[in-house]
Amino acid sequence: MKANRSPAPEAARYLLPPEAYTSQAWFDREQATLFARNWQFACMDDEAAGLGAYVTLDAGREPLVIVRGHDGVLRCFYNLCRHRGVRLLEGTGRLESGISCFYHRWQYSLEGSLKALPQPEQFPGLCRDELGLQAASLQVWNGMVFVNPLPDAPPLLNWLGAMADHMDPWRPGELIPIEHRRMTIRANWKLFIENHIDGYHLWYLHADSVRGLDHPKQTWRPVGPHWAFYEPPLEPGVSPDRQQFGTPIIEGFDETRFGSTVWWVMPNLAGAAGATFWSAIRIIPISPGETALEIRTRIGGLPDQPGSGGGLDQIVDEDVRAVESIQRAMSSAAFRVGPLSNDFERSIQTFHKNILRLMETGRREV
């Protein structure tokens, strides 16, 4: 019998093979493509405040350093000495007047030029202008610093697209930092993201820790390779995070956006925000089975009760438990991923498509 029904949608399914989570070769390809050629979140602008402030990071296998110059401008360079290539700086800190290589003391300005080197007569014909630090790209958007190892990267806003609007009502640079910590989890970075973009577990894994939200009304959409999610509060006009954490509503925050706004910006920025807080997790893949998370949380004002406002940690702990459990299970020959929820986990299939596409189109000859 012919029914006047539209065909059932193709079932959502998992596309990446198990080796995507366990193999060093796969990991290396991701590092050389996804993480070496795209814009990625590095730190907050105010974490590199003041003349000479610097922050080092690795974008894939590319060692980078962000430095604030005499003109107040943040720049991004490869963190590699132009003499013999040692890494110039580690961690974060403040430079007096420039970068001095510890090995043979070549001296670079805060703006990246080679200023001086010992025994210059040893280098006949050396052209200092050609031996400044190699530039990478950097842009600050809404208080957040993004870098791209490519020196001539297309504009950041091309990459963010409509994600900029999705993340826009929050001005993290104007909020109060209450958390900035790093933790390491024993799971592949993609498992953490798959959990982050899974709307199905909200009812169950977070039955206690995520409250006051109308899960059945959640919506998500792909934005280029990224993901934008929103779910409204159970009671219109009532902020669940205000209720739960006692944190005040961010000044001027629009009541129609109460609820939970969540995002994933390829390749390394996961975030969530509400009427009282903004939280960002920078994903740092370490090895196929290990990932560092850099968690930053900011709020609009101090909570009613001192010491509250940290309820997000419980949510992260619950998520980490789940993804570490999957990673362990992957070493079993019996490990299989079953069907995905049509509405709430199809995002994972979309994520996989994007990973595969970017690893292909972003392939770098190394």
What are residue 141's DSSP bridge partners? 144
CA nearest to 268, candidates 231, 206, 225: 225
Site map (CB under 6 A) of ligand FES, residues 69-108, x = contact = ------------x-xx-x--------------x-xx-x--
Closer residue to ligand FES, CB minimum distance, 86 or 176: 86
How many chain residues interact with ligand FES (CB under 6 A)? 8
To ligand FES, the closest distance from the beta carbon of 98 in angstroms equals 13
DSSP 32: H
Which C-beta is closer to ligand FES: that of 1 or that of 127?
Answer: 127
Percentages (nearest 5) of helix, strand, coil residues in the chain: 25, 30, 45
Residue 294's binding partner, choosing from ligand FES, Fe ion, none, with beta-carbon cut-off 5 to 8 A by kind? none
Q: Quote the tokens at residue 133.
A: 């630090």
* CA dist list (Å): 147 to 36, 140, 223: 10, 9, 20
Q: Which does 42 bind (CB under 5 to 8 A by kind): ligand FES, Fe ion, none?
A: none
| CB of 74 closer than 8 Å to CB of 48 | yes
C-beta neighbour count of 332 within 10 angstroms: 9
What string of H, E and C letters represents the secondary structure of 305-365? CCCCCCCHHHHHHHHHHHHHHHHHHCCCCCCCCCCCCCCCCHHHHHHHHHHHHHHHHCCCC
Dist CA 68 CA 175 (whole Å): 22
Q: What's the min distance (Å) between Cβ of 155 and ligand FES?
A: 33
Per DSSP, the three-state class of 30 is helix
- Residue whose beta carbon is closest to Fe ion: 319
Smallest distance, Å, CB 284 to Fe ion?
19
Select the binding partner of residue 103 from ligand FES, Fe ion, none (C-beta < 5 to 8 A, by kind). ligand FES
User: What residues from 106 to 135 belong to the interface with ligand FES (CB under 6 A)?
Assistant: 106
Question: Which residues of the chain form contacts with Fe ion (CB under 5 A)?
Answer: 319
CA distance 153 to 130: 21
Q: Which does 319 bind (CB under 5 to 8 A by kind): ligand FES, Fe ion, none?
A: Fe ion
Instruction: State which residue, 56 or 297, has the beta carbon closest to ligand FES.
Output: 56
231 binds, among Fe ion, ligand FES, none (CB under 5 to 8 A by kind): none
Measured from the CB atom, the residue of 103 and 203 that comes closer to ligand FES is 103
Task: Write the binding mask 232 to 261 for ligand FES: x where contact by CB under 6 A, - elsewhere.
Answer: ------------------------------
Asked whether the beta carbons of 21 and 254 are under 8 A apart, the reply is: no
**Which of Fe ion, ligand FES, none interacts with 30 (beta carbon under 5 to 8 A by kind)?**
none
The residues binding ligand FES (CB under 6 A) are 81, 83-84, 86, 101, 103-104, 106
